[in-house]
């Protein structure tokens, strides 16, 4: 008999997550888990969902790629004129989710969002392959277009334009950084009794760790 969606389930048994074992600094703990995802050779371990909302509360979410993280926060790059760019300009609050299924782990991050420096945006932009740099000029991200041919035609136009020149970073393209106020580490456990440890930022930039009920 074919399974229904309601029948799909998995019992998580790989590991646990203890307050006695995690680092007191959530950025160090994130790096530990991220490095383990790299060692496990997970497909695109830096893929993350970012959720945004309009000022009147209409939410939206999509996948992006993490490109940098340190104690300042978690950075990705995008077209500032895109839907997410506009929403974050008007309502600079965002939430991230990493899902590493093979490790039975999830990380949830929420906080304020700000642009990275022009220097950081320039450095990352010029590290990209040439066609990716051209793509930042070609795509009016999130806008309606007539056909795929529109993009192909614009690609050829910009290839000709910058054939013998350095491709500059578009003024509407750059980095955004989520500065977390909360980071939750989730480890799947048997019987749906998952381990959830929540780090909350305090006023003095230290972090409080609490266990959440699954």
Contact 183, 109 (CB under 8 A): yes
**Is 141 annotated as contributing to ligand binding?**
yes
**Is 132 annotated as contributing to ligand binding?**
yes
SS3 150: helix
**Is 194 annotated as contributing to ligand binding?**
yes
SS3 130: helix
**Is 193 annotated as contributing to ligand binding?**
yes
**Is 48 annotated as contributing to ligand binding?**
no
**Active site (catalytic) residues:** 192
Residue 63 and residue 36: Cα distance in Å, rounded?
A: 21
SS3 165: coil
- What backbone phi and psi angles, to 5 degrees, belong to 211? -90, 135
**Is 65 annotated as contributing to ligand binding?**
yes
Distance in Å from the first CA to the final CA of the chain: 31
**Is 32 annotated as contributing to ligand binding?**
no
Residue stretches of the annotated binding site for FMN:
62-67, 77-78, 84, 106, 141-142, 186, 196
Residue stretches of the annotated binding site for substrate:
67, 124, 128, 132, 192-194
Residue stretches of the annotated binding site:
62-67, 77-78, 84, 106, 124, 128, 132, 141-142, 186, 192-194, 196
């Amino acid at each position: 008999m074919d399974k229904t969606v309601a029948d799909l389930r998995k019992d998580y048994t790989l590991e646990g997550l203890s307050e006695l074992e995690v680092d007191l600094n959530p950025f160090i703990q994130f790096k530990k888990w991220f490095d383990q995802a790299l060692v496990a050779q997970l497909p695109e371990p830096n893929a993350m969902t970012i959720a945004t909302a309009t000022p009147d509360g209409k939410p939206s979410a999509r996948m992006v790629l993490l490109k940098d993280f340190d104690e300042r926060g978690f950075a990705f790059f995008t077209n500032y004129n895109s839907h997410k760019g506009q929403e974050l300009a008007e309502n600079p609050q965002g939430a991230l989710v990493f899902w590493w299924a093979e490790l039975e782990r999830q990380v949830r991050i929420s906080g304020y969002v700000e642009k990275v420096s022009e220097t950081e945006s320039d450095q990352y932009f010029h590290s990209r392959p040439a066609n990716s740099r051209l793509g930042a000029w070609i795509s009016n991200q999130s806008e309606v277009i007539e056909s795929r041919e529109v993009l192909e035609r614009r690609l050829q136009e910009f290839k000709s334009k910058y054939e013998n020149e350095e491709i500059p970073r578009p003024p509407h393209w750059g980095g955004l950084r989520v500065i977390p106020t909360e980071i939750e580490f989730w480890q799947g456990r048997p019987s749906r009794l998952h381990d959830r440890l929540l780090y909350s930022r305090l006023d003095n930039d230290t972090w409080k760790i609490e266990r959440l009920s699954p």
